[in-house]
Amino acid sequence: MKRRSGQDRSVTQHWRPATLAVRGGTARSEFGETSEAIFLTSGYSYDCAEDAAARFAGEQEGMTYSRLQNPTVEMLEHRIALLEGAEACRTMATGMAAMTAALLCQLQQGDHVVAGRAAFGSCRWLVDTLLPRFGIQSTTVDARDSRAFEAAVRPNTKVFFFETPANPTMDVVDLKAVCGIARERGIVSVVDNAFATPALQRPLEFGADVVAYSATKMMDGQGRVLAGAVCGSEDFVTNTLLPFTRNTGPTLSAFNAWVVLKGLETLDLRVRRQSANAVTVGQFLEGRVPRILHPGLPSHPQHALAMSQMVATGPIFAFEVADRAQAHALLNALELIDISNNIGDSRSLMTHPASTTHYGVSAEARAEMGVTEGLLRLNVGLEDPQDLIDDLDQALRQVGL
């Protein structure tokens, strides 16, 4: 592989994010292909036995096995690290593989974690069910209140884990305040940045230590593949994350890495347009539905905080109707917007979290995090927002709203 400019820090450090999203990390083969090549290979061969030995000993640069290294996957890792402003990044097969690795790689029996209570259903399962099974205690807090993190700290607290904006209630966490509390106490803050992507919010700039992604969402952006990523310091990635992932194997396939590389080329365009569309659609729904949870609207109690740490608030927001029956009736009345629990797609998608994404969370925990029976979550896509408004309008009429 020719190491072309897309991987050379001395060249790329001057590039702005939209340029990095298109070119960062690109490494061309001897054929000089413009679009990144897909290296679908599980292994690598060596010119001689001594080379194989030197590579395993870490004395020779090069790849040994695709669970550990792959040229296409490395291009994606370089690109995400550049966009995030992180020293290093490792991709994973899914967002949940990324969250699991980011937590388990640094925790052990006897440790304690403080987590935001509004979270993706599987993230709550990790914190509430999996960690305690291995003797790692956890406390969930209302992450909108930075002091709640402080109050929950114990002598053995090792990690703060939260997302902002949070799925699906759109709670916003004060990154600077919460990451500051962590840093003062030597606690590692792990931020799930799936709802924002580095195009809208870069938690490391606010003092976060580790940023984890479901790249399935806006990074692919077209609903095609599952992928995840973990970003942090070179020290964290090399000495803490890699020993865990190299041996447990949550590796991203080269094909899926390539799809996400193509997705990143349009990330900046998509998230800006989808954020603008989500504000337009949110403005229509405001006043038409009993309650809307949209950090991009001035009516959201954390609007100012969201705008102070994000470029724009992204494609996703939530709103409430009376109850489950009305929520299901509204979904069934939609003609353009799909009923789907995915997000970050260029298509508009709507779901009822209590019966889908948060079905596995206890009714008690759902109530505590604000996932009510009437809550609906909307991912606003790249369609003309007026068509989305027309669809919502006819569906709302059908359910008497």
Site residues, ligand PLP (CB under 6 A): 94-96, 99, 120, 122-123, 163, 167, 192, 194-195, 214, 216-217, 226, 228, 343
Q: In the complex, which residue's CB is closest to ligand PLP?
A: 95
Of 99 and 327, which CB lies nearer to ligand PLP in the complex structure? Answer: 99
Tell how far CA 225 is from the center of its chain. Answer: 14
Alpha helices (runs of H) in 266-384, residue ranges in sequence order: 267-285, 303-309, 324-333, 363-369
Count the neighbouring beta carbons within 10 Å of the beta carbon of residue 384: 10
Is the CB of 160 or the CB of 284 nearer to ligand PLP?
A: 160
Q: How far is CA 179 from CA 149, 275, 362, in A?
A: 10, 26, 28
Closest CA to 6 of 205, 103, 22: 22
Q: In whole angstroms, how close is the CB of 96 to ligand PLP at the nearest point?
A: 4
CB of 232 to ligand PLP, least distance (A): 17
Least CB distance to ligand PLP at residue 123 (A): 5
Residues 6+ apart with CB under 8 A from 212: 95, 98, 99, 102, 190, 191, 192, 193, 228, 229, 230, 231
Whether residue 175 contacts residue 191, with contact meaning beta carbons closer than 8 Å, is answered with yes
Which of 36, 220 has the CB closer to ligand PLP? 220
Please, which residue, 96 or 378, has the CB nearer to ligand PLP? 96
194 vs 395, which CB is nearer to ligand PLP? 194
Distances (CA, A) of 36 to 26, 137, 239: 7, 44, 29
Min separation Cβ 327 and ligand PLP, Å:
20
Residue (126 or 382) nearer to ligand PLP, CB: 126
State the Cα torsion 308-175-140-345 to the nearest 10°. Answer: 60
Minimum Å distance from CB 121 to ligand PLP? 9
For ligand PLP, give the closer residue by CB, 218 or 311: 218
DSSP 8-state secondary structure symbol assigned to residue 4? -
Evaluate whether 211 touches 231 at the Cβ level (below 8 Å). yes
Min. distance of Cβ 118 from ligand PLP in angstroms? 10
Considering the complex, what minimum distance in angstroms separates the CB of residue 193 from ligand PLP? 8
Q: How far is the CB of 195 from ligand PLP (least distance, A)?
A: 6
Structure tokens at 86: 């992180």
Side by side, the strands of the sheet bearing 291-293 are 291-293, 316-320, 375-379, 349-351, 338-339
Min dist. Cβ of residue 95 to ligand PLP (A): 2
Q: Residue 167 in contact with residue 342, Cβ under 8 Å?
A: no
Q: Closer to ligand PLP at the Cβ: 27 or 264? A: 264
- Decide if 324 contacts 360 (C-beta within 8 A): no
Angle (CA) 24 211 9, round 5°: 25
CB nearer ligand PLP, residue 28 or residue 202: 202
Q: Which residues contact 362 (CB under 8 A, 6 or more apart)?
A: none
Least distance from C-beta 212 to ligand PLP, angstroms? 8
Name residue 138's beta-bridge partners.
113
Would you say 25 and 77 are in contact if contact means Cβ atoms under 8 Å apart? Answer: yes
Whichever of 24 and 95 has its CB closer to ligand PLP, that residue is 95
- Give the whole-angstrom CA distance, residue 81 versus residue 9: 11
Q: Which is nearer to ligand PLP, 36 or 345 (CB)?
A: 345
Tokens of 198: 């580095």
> Min. distance of Cβ 394 from ligand PLP in angstroms?
29
